[in-house]
Amino acid sequence: MGYVWEFGVVFNQLDLLLAGLLNTLKITGGALLFGIPLGLLAAILRLSTYKWLRVSVGVLIEFFRTTPPIVQLFWFFFALPMLSGIEMDPFRASLVTFSIQSSAFFAEVFRGGIVSIERGQWEAARAIGMNYLESMRRVILPQAVKRMIPAFLERVIELMKTTTLVATVSYADLLYQANNIAQSTYRPLEVFTVAAGLYFIVLFPTSLLVKRIERQLAKTGEGTVH
Protein backbone atom coordinates (compact mmCIF):
# COMPACT_ATOMS: atom_id res chain seq x y z
CA MET A 1 0.00 0.00 0.00
CA GLY A 2 2.29 2.71 1.25
CA TYR A 3 5.37 0.77 0.26
CA VAL A 4 7.92 2.80 -1.67
CA TRP A 5 10.00 0.64 -4.02
CA GLU A 6 13.65 1.56 -3.95
CA PHE A 7 15.64 -0.32 -6.53
CA GLY A 8 18.62 2.05 -6.48
CA VAL A 9 20.40 0.25 -3.66
CA VAL A 10 20.01 -3.03 -5.49
CA PHE A 11 21.39 -1.77 -8.73
CA ASN A 12 24.36 -0.36 -6.83
CA GLN A 13 25.23 -3.96 -5.98
CA LEU A 14 24.32 -5.46 -9.31
CA ASP A 15 27.90 -6.64 -9.79
CA LEU A 16 27.48 -8.91 -6.75
CA LEU A 17 24.25 -10.32 -8.16
CA LEU A 18 25.86 -10.91 -11.53
CA ALA A 19 28.78 -12.68 -9.84
CA GLY A 20 26.14 -14.83 -8.14
CA LEU A 21 24.44 -15.48 -11.46
CA LEU A 22 27.78 -16.55 -12.89
CA ASN A 23 28.18 -19.07 -10.06
CA THR A 24 24.63 -20.32 -10.60
CA LEU A 25 25.46 -20.85 -14.26
CA LYS A 26 28.68 -22.60 -13.25
CA ILE A 27 26.81 -25.13 -11.13
CA THR A 28 24.08 -25.57 -13.74
CA GLY A 29 26.60 -25.95 -16.55
CA GLY A 30 28.78 -28.30 -14.53
CA ALA A 31 25.78 -30.42 -13.57
CA LEU A 32 24.87 -30.66 -17.26
CA LEU A 33 28.43 -31.47 -18.26
CA PHE A 34 28.59 -34.45 -15.90
CA GLY A 35 24.87 -35.19 -15.62
CA ILE A 36 24.21 -35.78 -19.32
CA PRO A 37 26.80 -38.52 -19.95
CA LEU A 38 26.09 -40.01 -16.54
CA GLY A 39 22.36 -39.97 -17.27
CA LEU A 40 22.87 -41.57 -20.67
CA LEU A 41 24.99 -44.29 -19.11
CA ALA A 42 22.36 -44.88 -16.41
CA ALA A 43 19.61 -45.01 -19.06
CA ILE A 44 21.51 -47.61 -21.09
CA LEU A 45 22.31 -49.67 -18.00
CA ARG A 46 18.67 -49.54 -16.96
CA LEU A 47 17.79 -51.02 -20.34
CA SER A 48 20.33 -53.81 -19.92
CA THR A 49 19.34 -57.41 -20.47
CA TYR A 50 20.94 -58.28 -17.13
CA LYS A 51 18.25 -58.10 -14.52
CA TRP A 52 20.55 -57.38 -11.57
CA LEU A 53 22.06 -54.41 -13.42
CA ARG A 54 18.67 -53.13 -14.54
CA VAL A 55 17.26 -53.36 -11.03
CA SER A 56 20.20 -51.88 -9.14
CA VAL A 57 20.57 -48.93 -11.49
CA GLY A 58 16.81 -48.47 -11.36
CA VAL A 59 16.85 -48.32 -7.57
CA LEU A 60 19.66 -45.77 -7.65
CA ILE A 61 17.85 -43.59 -10.17
CA GLU A 62 14.60 -43.71 -8.24
CA PHE A 63 16.42 -42.95 -5.01
CA PHE A 64 17.86 -39.72 -6.37
CA ARG A 65 14.59 -38.78 -8.03
CA THR A 66 12.49 -39.22 -4.94
CA THR A 67 14.64 -37.81 -2.12
CA PRO A 68 14.73 -34.02 -1.59
CA PRO A 69 17.73 -32.45 -3.31
CA ILE A 70 18.46 -30.36 -0.22
CA VAL A 71 18.98 -33.54 1.79
CA GLN A 72 21.25 -34.92 -0.92
CA LEU A 73 23.23 -31.71 -0.76
CA PHE A 74 23.66 -32.09 2.99
CA TRP A 75 24.78 -35.70 2.55
CA PHE A 76 27.49 -34.73 0.11
CA PHE A 77 28.53 -31.62 2.03
CA PHE A 78 28.36 -32.83 5.63
CA ALA A 79 27.97 -36.60 5.76
CA LEU A 80 30.28 -37.77 2.99
CA PRO A 81 33.41 -35.96 4.34
CA MET A 82 32.69 -37.34 7.82
CA LEU A 83 32.20 -40.91 6.59
CA SER A 84 34.89 -41.09 3.93
CA GLY A 85 37.37 -38.32 4.67
CA ILE A 86 36.87 -36.88 1.18
CA GLU A 87 37.30 -33.13 1.39
CA MET A 88 34.34 -31.10 0.26
CA ASP A 89 33.96 -27.40 -0.32
CA PRO A 90 30.59 -25.81 -1.16
CA PHE A 91 31.32 -25.76 -4.89
CA ARG A 92 32.39 -29.38 -5.07
CA ALA A 93 29.50 -30.61 -2.95
CA SER A 94 27.02 -28.63 -5.06
CA LEU A 95 28.50 -29.86 -8.30
CA VAL A 96 28.48 -33.51 -7.19
CA THR A 97 24.94 -33.28 -5.86
CA PHE A 98 23.42 -31.68 -8.92
CA SER A 99 25.39 -33.79 -11.38
CA ILE A 100 24.04 -36.95 -9.78
CA GLN A 101 20.59 -35.58 -9.06
CA SER A 102 20.08 -34.29 -12.60
CA SER A 103 21.59 -37.44 -14.13
CA ALA A 104 18.85 -39.44 -12.41
CA PHE A 105 16.19 -37.29 -14.08
CA PHE A 106 18.03 -37.22 -17.42
CA ALA A 107 18.32 -41.00 -17.30
CA GLU A 108 14.55 -41.26 -17.34
CA VAL A 109 14.21 -38.72 -20.14
CA PHE A 110 16.82 -40.58 -22.19
CA ARG A 111 15.31 -43.97 -21.44
CA GLY A 112 11.90 -42.69 -22.49
CA GLY A 113 13.37 -41.47 -25.77
CA ILE A 114 15.23 -44.70 -26.44
CA VAL A 115 12.27 -47.00 -25.78
CA SER A 116 10.03 -44.81 -27.92
CA ILE A 117 11.97 -45.90 -31.02
CA GLU A 118 10.17 -48.75 -32.74
CA ARG A 119 11.61 -52.25 -32.43
CA GLY A 120 11.83 -52.43 -36.22
CA GLN A 121 14.65 -49.89 -36.13
CA TRP A 122 16.71 -52.13 -33.86
CA GLU A 123 15.93 -55.09 -36.07
CA ALA A 124 16.89 -53.28 -39.25
CA ALA A 125 20.19 -52.24 -37.68
CA ARG A 126 20.85 -55.77 -36.44
CA ALA A 127 19.88 -57.26 -39.79
CA ILE A 128 22.69 -55.43 -41.59
CA GLY A 129 25.15 -56.71 -39.00
CA MET A 130 25.43 -53.85 -36.54
CA ASN A 131 26.30 -54.60 -32.94
CA TYR A 132 24.54 -53.02 -29.97
CA LEU A 133 26.73 -49.93 -29.75
CA GLU A 134 26.65 -49.27 -33.48
CA SER A 135 22.86 -49.63 -33.52
CA MET A 136 22.56 -47.27 -30.57
CA ARG A 137 24.95 -44.66 -31.91
CA ARG A 138 23.99 -44.65 -35.58
CA VAL A 139 20.31 -45.56 -35.57
CA ILE A 140 18.56 -45.29 -32.20
CA LEU A 141 20.08 -42.27 -30.46
CA PRO A 142 19.94 -39.86 -33.41
CA GLN A 143 16.19 -40.48 -33.59
CA ALA A 144 15.68 -40.64 -29.82
CA VAL A 145 17.55 -37.39 -29.14
CA LYS A 146 15.06 -35.48 -31.28
CA ARG A 147 12.21 -36.80 -29.21
CA MET A 148 14.03 -36.14 -25.93
CA ILE A 149 14.78 -32.47 -26.51
CA PRO A 150 11.57 -30.92 -25.10
CA ALA A 151 11.56 -33.06 -21.95
CA PHE A 152 15.28 -32.53 -21.60
CA LEU A 153 15.10 -28.74 -21.77
CA GLU A 154 12.22 -28.85 -19.30
CA ARG A 155 14.60 -30.61 -16.89
CA VAL A 156 17.34 -28.04 -17.53
CA ILE A 157 14.97 -25.26 -16.45
CA GLU A 158 14.06 -27.22 -13.32
CA LEU A 159 17.74 -27.87 -12.64
CA MET A 160 18.74 -24.22 -12.74
CA LYS A 161 15.96 -23.27 -10.35
CA THR A 162 16.78 -26.12 -8.00
CA THR A 163 20.42 -25.04 -7.78
CA THR A 164 19.19 -22.17 -5.53
CA LEU A 165 19.53 -24.77 -2.76
CA VAL A 166 23.33 -24.47 -2.90
CA ALA A 167 22.94 -21.22 -0.96
CA THR A 168 22.23 -23.40 2.08
CA VAL A 169 25.82 -24.69 2.06
CA SER A 170 27.11 -21.13 1.57
CA TYR A 171 27.96 -21.42 -2.08
CA ALA A 172 27.79 -17.88 -3.42
CA ASP A 173 25.17 -18.38 -6.12
CA LEU A 174 22.64 -15.81 -7.22
CA LEU A 175 20.22 -16.50 -4.38
CA TYR A 176 22.99 -16.47 -1.77
CA GLN A 177 24.16 -13.06 -2.99
CA ALA A 178 20.59 -11.80 -3.04
CA ASN A 179 20.16 -12.93 0.53
CA ASN A 180 23.33 -11.10 1.64
CA ILE A 181 22.37 -7.91 -0.14
CA ALA A 182 18.88 -8.11 1.32
CA GLN A 183 20.30 -8.31 4.81
CA SER A 184 22.71 -5.43 4.33
CA THR A 185 20.26 -3.12 2.57
CA TYR A 186 17.02 -4.09 4.31
CA ARG A 187 15.44 -4.17 0.86
CA PRO A 188 14.53 -7.87 0.46
CA LEU A 189 11.57 -7.26 -1.85
CA GLU A 190 13.61 -5.32 -4.37
CA VAL A 191 16.61 -7.62 -4.16
CA PHE A 192 14.68 -10.84 -4.62
CA THR A 193 12.59 -9.34 -7.39
CA VAL A 194 15.71 -8.42 -9.31
CA ALA A 195 17.17 -11.88 -8.63
CA ALA A 196 14.02 -13.50 -9.96
CA GLY A 197 14.28 -11.24 -12.98
CA LEU A 198 17.76 -12.55 -13.66
CA TYR A 199 16.57 -16.16 -13.53
CA PHE A 200 13.77 -15.17 -15.87
CA ILE A 201 16.13 -13.55 -18.36
CA VAL A 202 18.12 -16.77 -18.64
CA LEU A 203 15.27 -19.28 -18.53
CA PHE A 204 12.54 -17.60 -20.53
CA PRO A 205 14.43 -17.94 -23.84
CA THR A 206 15.05 -21.59 -22.95
CA SER A 207 11.37 -22.05 -22.36
CA LEU A 208 10.54 -20.39 -25.69
CA LEU A 209 13.02 -22.72 -27.36
CA VAL A 210 11.20 -25.73 -25.89
CA LYS A 211 7.89 -24.48 -27.30
CA ARG A 212 9.41 -23.90 -30.70
CA ILE A 213 11.06 -27.29 -30.88
CA GLU A 214 7.85 -28.96 -29.76
CA ARG A 215 5.94 -27.23 -32.54
CA GLN A 216 8.54 -28.29 -35.10
CA LEU A 217 8.52 -31.89 -33.94
CA ALA A 218 4.74 -31.94 -34.08
CA LYS A 219 4.94 -30.71 -37.66
CA THR A 220 7.30 -33.47 -38.77
CA GLY A 221 5.15 -36.01 -36.94
CA GLU A 222 7.70 -36.87 -34.28
CA GLY A 223 6.04 -37.41 -30.94
CA THR A 224 7.50 -35.94 -27.78
CA VAL A 225 8.37 -37.91 -24.71
CA HIS A 226 6.30 -37.42 -21.51
Between helix 188-219 and helix 141-162 the angle, nearest 10°, is 170
Out of 9, 146, 157, 193, the only residue in the binding site for another protein (CB under 8 A) is: 146
Query: Judged by CB under 8 A, does residue 54 bind another protein?
Result: no
Closer Cβ to another protein, 2 or 129, answer by number = 129
Smallest distance from the beta carbon of 140 to another protein, in angstroms?
10
The DSSP call for residue 169 is: G
Q: Which residues are CB-contacts of 110 (< 8 A; sequence separation ≥ 6)?
A: 39, 40, 43, 144, 148
Question: Rounded to whole angstroms, how far apart are CA atoms 74 and 168?
Answer: 9
Query: Judged by CB under 8 A, does residue 128 bind another protein?
Result: yes
# chain residues binding another protein, by CB under 8 A: 20
Question: Rounded to whole angstroms, how far apart are CA atoms 160 and 202?
Answer: 10
Query: Judged by CB under 8 A, does residue 116 bind another protein?
Result: no
Out of 143, 180, 193, 207, the only residue in the binding site for another protein (CB under 8 A) is: 143
Question: Rounded to whole angstroms, how far apart are CA atoms 20 and 182?
Answer: 14
Query: Judged by CB under 8 A, does residue 51 bind another protein?
Result: no
Smallest distance from the beta carbon of 137 to another protein, in angstroms?
9
3-state SS, residue 5: coil
Query: Judged by CB under 8 A, does residue 127 bind another protein?
Result: yes
- Which residues here bind another protein, judged by CB under 8 A? 118, 120-121, 123-132, 134, 138-139, 142-143, 146, 221
